[in-house]
Amino acid sequence: MAIIVVAAGSGTRLGGAAPKAFVGIDERSVLRHALDGVFAAAPAQVIVVAPAGREGDAETELFDAAGDRRDLCRVVVGGETRQQSVAAGLGALWGDITTVLVHDAARALTPPSQIDAVTGAVTADAGVIPALSVIDTIKRVHESEVVAGVDRSELVAAQTPQGFPRAPLEAAYAAALSSGAEYTDDAALFAAAGYDVRHIAGSARAFKITTPADLERARLMLTDAAAPQHPLVTSSPVIPRVGIGTDVHAFGGDGTLWLAGLAWPGEPALSGHSDGDVVAHAIVDALLGAAGLGDIGEHFGTAHPEYAGAHGDVFLARTREILSEAEFAIGNVSVQFQGNRPRFSARRAEAESTLSAALGGASVNISATTTDGLGFTGRGEGIAATAIALVHPHP
Ligand code: CTP
Ligand code: MG
């Protein structure tokens, strides 16, 4: 993976004495913070696009952040627009690079995990952007009139780094160059060339420093993180949190049994609004409960018809996004179901890796038990599951 960090803007809206990338947040500049995040991820090549005349300063920051990885580093001079700056960065890619990330230096506090998540989600034919749900109610306006509401659930706010397969990205940049079109981000340019772009969860810390108030926000975030924790303060933001979730569904659904994210051909199906996957649903409640973010009914219930019939991995992937947007990382999940069937042990590893992948690689342990013929599970009327989950607020 190569990452192009665009830092060639002047920072007009910030109004600092230096170009924005060289403005200090604390004792470190915007660019240096961005690069610290980049090197905490696992880059193969790092290209910084600097304002003309500031190449030397950019190189100093880059080498300091790189430590003993200077051989990965390159500084090039940017252009008049962000798009031209990215194009300049593309010109410096090594021959063997296949995945390219483009990142705004101005998103100085982007968590390294966001960079890794974008890298991991790029495919040979689709780009990936990190994005946040839109919180405010959005209106379309014309002059002073409010013309219409806009359905917020169809909108997300795009962040960086944005990741792309290299050859299509270069083709898209060549097409933009020949048409003279200017796009507001790389994903728009890439999509205009006919390629697909997907989105994954972004994070509040990846906000773009644009105005003096944003710089203040970044400073506060750093001071809060650096503040020594008083030993008697028990509400330290890094204390992990646990949650519990249970779910029960009766047999009697149509089609195939879905359990623990897997289809079980030949087994009687569970009934439910979605696929009746009690294991996945118990995990969703445990995770939402741990993060204090409500429950499955609120986020996935009948008010959300898009989840009717959805499988467990879809529920878990969306739950991870909800947690990530609220700045929670998932520690581990342990879940047990009670039921006479299916016989689970042969597919345990497959189920665990399916659910773990949906949760971004978090550890998932699944066990199964029967109840010695007792109760509704023992009578074979349904399956019950209980999950506990541990989550951490991002420090
Ligand atoms: N950028 C760039 N080359 C340009 C313009 C922008 O490399 N010609 C980079 C900026 O350095 C920044 C990112 O693109 O990291 C996002 O741009 P923005 O936040 O708009 O930064 P500036 O253009 O510097 O700020 P302003 O628009 O307020 O002047
Ligand atoms: Mg700008």
Buried b (16+ CB within 10 A) or exposed e, 70-108: eebbbbbebeeebbbbbbbbbeebeeeeebbbbbbbbbb
Please give the number of the atom of ligand 1 that sits closest to the Cα of 7: 11
For residue 227, the model assigns a pLDDT of 58
Do the beta carbons of residue 4 and residue 103 sit within 8 Å?
yes
* Domain assignment of residue 244, yes or no: yes
Question: Are residue 155 and residue 50 in the same domain, yes or no?
Answer: yes
Question: Are residue 83 and residue 112 in the same domain, yes or no?
Answer: yes
Average pLDDT over residues 243-267: 96
The structure tokens listed for 376 are 């509704």
- The CATH number of the domain holding residue 69 is 3.90.550.10
For residue 234, the model assigns a pLDDT of 43
Question: Are residue 191 and residue 236 in the same domain, yes or no?
Answer: no
Ligand nearest to the CA of 103: 1
Please give the number of the atom of ligand 1 that sits closest to the Cα of 14: 28
- The CATH number of the domain holding residue 261 is 3.30.1330.50
For residue 232, the model assigns a pLDDT of 46
**pLDDT surpasses 50 at 258:** yes
Task: Report CA(81)–ligand 1 centroid distance (Å).
Answer: 8
* Domain assignment of residue 158, yes or no: yes
* Domain assignment of residue 104, yes or no: yes
Expressed in percent and rounded to 5, the helix, strand and coil fractions of the chain are 35, 25, 35
Task: Report CA(347)–ligand 2 centroid distance (Å).
Answer: 52
Higher pLDDT, 272 or 92: 92
Q: Give per-residue pLDDT as tens, 304-324.
A: 888 888 899 999 999 999 999
* Domain assignment of residue 221, yes or no: no
Within 13 Å, how many C-alpha atoms sit on residue 359's CB side? 32
Please state the φ and ψ torsions of residue 69, each to the nearest 5 degrees.
-105, 35
Question: Are residue 178 and residue 115 in the same domain, yes or no?
Answer: yes
For residue 321, the model assigns a pLDDT of 94
Task: Count the domains in the chain.
Answer: 2
* Domain assignment of residue 85, yes or no: yes
The ligand 1 site (C-beta within 6 Å) comprises: 6-14, 20-21, 49, 78-82, 85, 104-106, 208, 210
Closest residue by Cα to residue 261 from 349, 340, 341, 321: 349
Give the DSSP H or E segment for 39: helix 30-40
Average pLDDT over residues 99-108: 98
Q: Give per-residue pLDDT as tens, 39-67.
A: 999 899 999 999 999 999 999 999 999 99
Spell out where the chain has E strands: 2-6, 45-50, 73-77, 99-104, 126-133, 138-142, 145-150, 156-158, 162-165, 196-201, 241-250, 257-259, 262-264, 328-338, 363-369, 382-393
Question: Are residue 155 and residue 186 in the same domain, yes or no?
Answer: yes
Task: Report CA(122)–ligand 1 centroid distance (Å).
Answer: 24
**pLDDT surpasses 70 at 163:** yes
Q: Which range (141-145, 170-174, 193-197, 300-304) has the least confidence?
A: 300-304
Question: Are residue 202 and residue 235 in the same domain, yes or no?
Answer: no
**pLDDT surpasses 90 at 374:** yes
Question: Are residue 183 and residue 278 in the same domain, yes or no?
Answer: no
* Domain assignment of residue 313, yes or no: yes
For residue 226, the model assigns a pLDDT of 65
Question: Are residue 295 and residue 196 in the same domain, yes or no?
Answer: no
**pLDDT surpasses 50 at 191:** yes
Supply the range of the domain harboring residue 184.
2-210
Rounded distance between C-alpha atoms, residue 86 and residue 88, angstroms: 5
CA-closest residue to ligand 1 atom 6: 9
pTM, entire model: 0.64
* Domain assignment of residue 218, yes or no: no
Beta bridge partners of 103: 5
Within 13 Å, how many C-alpha atoms sit on residue 319's CB side? 36
Question: Are residue 235 and residue 118 in the same domain, yes or no?
Answer: no
